[in-house]
Amino acid sequence: MDLPKAIHELEYGHGSAYGPEEEAALSEVLRASAPSCGPKVKKFEEAFAAYCDARYGLAVTSATAGLELAIIAARVGPGDEVITTPISWISTANAAAAQGASVVFADVNPRTLNLDPASVAAKITDRTKAIIVVHLYGQCCDMDPIMNVARERGILVIEDCAHAAGGEYKGRRAGTLGDIGVFSFHQQKNMVTLGEGGMITTARKDLYERMLSFRSLCCLTYDPKGKYLPIDESKQPMGKRYWYLDFDDVGFNFRMTDAQAAIGLEQLKKLDGFNARRIEIANQYCERLRGIHGLTLPYVSPDVKHVFHIYCVLVEPEFRLNKEDFMWEMYTGKRVKVWSHYMPIHLTTAYRRRGHQEGECPVAEALFHKYVSLPIHPRMTEGSIAHVTDSIRELA
Ligand SMILES: *Cc1c(COP(=O)(O)O)cnc(C)c1O
């Protein structure tokens, strides 16, 4: 194995994320001229919502776009505060910041690295408009206490489910635990739609309709079934010249294409299988890495089905190497690209510039010196898994 190939295969597995099913689905869409937001998108939205047991699905271009629509549905704007976690991909906080809101970072639970409900409760003020929880690494947050305090205070809860397609909390699927769920189908996520893609779920008609409108530029003449409505002439600012489209607000183009949706329909059928393989790999990691001095393996709450988007270990001070040296030795010495998800958002340059700093979330900041993600992927081979775990044992 030459070096780059070994690293690539560990990160992305062998072969393609797609099979003959996706190829056939894509050919069908090509023969129909591959429209934007056509019948396949509608079908995918319905199938994904049904899978989660959500009332509505709304397909979008990415989870970053979906989070932005969710924040707009929550009517968040300047002067409002949005509470979220520092341990996430930056998109989570950006959704609130982009609408001019203040981002308030709550601290995390040291075992799950998910938002700590007590810290969330402590950071609520009269200005708190929304909470964005992240089901980190594929494990759902402890939602009951968060929903209780949010309901009491009339705060909208958005779930960032980018890691958690198919994940569960107390038997209910991610995306149905708060008011709005947002999923990612980016190429690295648990199911994928041609490199980019996302889905929003909700049970609330008012939120769905607002997001539907903003997904497509708030065009007044576009109805939920994707057809142009008969024009109400009395509402046309330009009288009877109704061949002009009119707009209700300043919206976006976040529409998914039928090509992505056709792939998404096939990937959704495979999602449980992909997740089962991820869980199997995680179990193998746990078995093979158990008992290593100074290495803490992931904690899985009995309340959840963890779908292991990421397998994260903690490199404790007792380990022979510190986190940075461990990562470097794995990469240069063992040809294993480990990662660290993520730099706490409040410590990024973008958020320091907005006035954030060390000390806001002491638990998350301490964890940052420990957490390392090992490669995990449904197409990972037994040889790759053994190579990763043998390498860690050698370094320990
Ligand atoms: C990937 C990711 C996103 C953004 O998803 P995109 O589809 O790439 O925009 C948001 N939040 C988390 C936690 C993610 O991992």
pLDDT at 224: 45
Whether the CB of 88 sits within 6 Å of ligand 1:
yes
Average pLDDT over the chain reads 93
Q: Out of 5, 42, 123, 189, pick the active-site residue.
A: 189
pLDDT, tens digit (0-9, with 9 covering 90-100), for 123-157: 999 999 999 999 999 999 999 999 999 999 999 99
Can you tell me the mean pLDDT for 105-123?
A: 98
Q: Ligand 1, from 68, 71, 85, 91: best to mutate by most atoms within 8 Å of Cβ?
A: 91
Confidence band of 229 (pLDDT split at 50, 70, 90): low
Q: Is 183 in the pocket of ligand 1 (CB under 6 A)?
A: no
Does residue 232 register a pLDDT over 60? no
Kindly state if the Cβ of 62 falls inside 6 Å of ligand 1: yes
69 pLDDT more than 60: yes
pLDDT at 227: 52
Q: Average pLDDT, stretch 291-298?
A: 98
Catalytic: 189? yes
Helix (H, G, I), strand (E, B) or coil at 243: coil
66 ligand 1 Cβ < 6 A: no
Q: Is the pLDDT of residue 247 over 60?
A: yes
**Most ligand 1 atoms within 8 A of CB, residue of 60, 68, 184, 254 to mutate:** 184
* 179 contacts 202 by C-beta, under 8 angstroms: yes
- The sign of the dihedral angle between the CA atoms of 94, 96, 99, 103 is negative
Check if 91 has its Cβ closer than 6 Å to any atom of ligand 1: yes
Task: Name, in order, each residue with C-beta under 8 angstroms of 294's C-beta and a sequence gap of 6 or more.
Answer: 315, 316, 317, 318, 319, 320, 396
- 3 pLDDT above the threshold of 60: no
Domains and CATH numbers, the chain: 3-10+268-395 (3.90.1150.10), 16-262 (3.40.640.10)
CA-nearest of 143, 162, 178, 155 to 75 is: 155
243 half-sphere exposure, CB direction, 13 A CA radius? 0
What digits encode the pLDDT tens for the residues 315-350?
999 999 999 999 999 999 999 999 999 999 999 999
Burial 9-24 (b: 16+ CB within 10 A, else e): bbbbbeeebbeeebee
Mean pLDDT, residues 75-98 taken together:
98
pTM of the predicted structure, to 2 decimals: 0.95
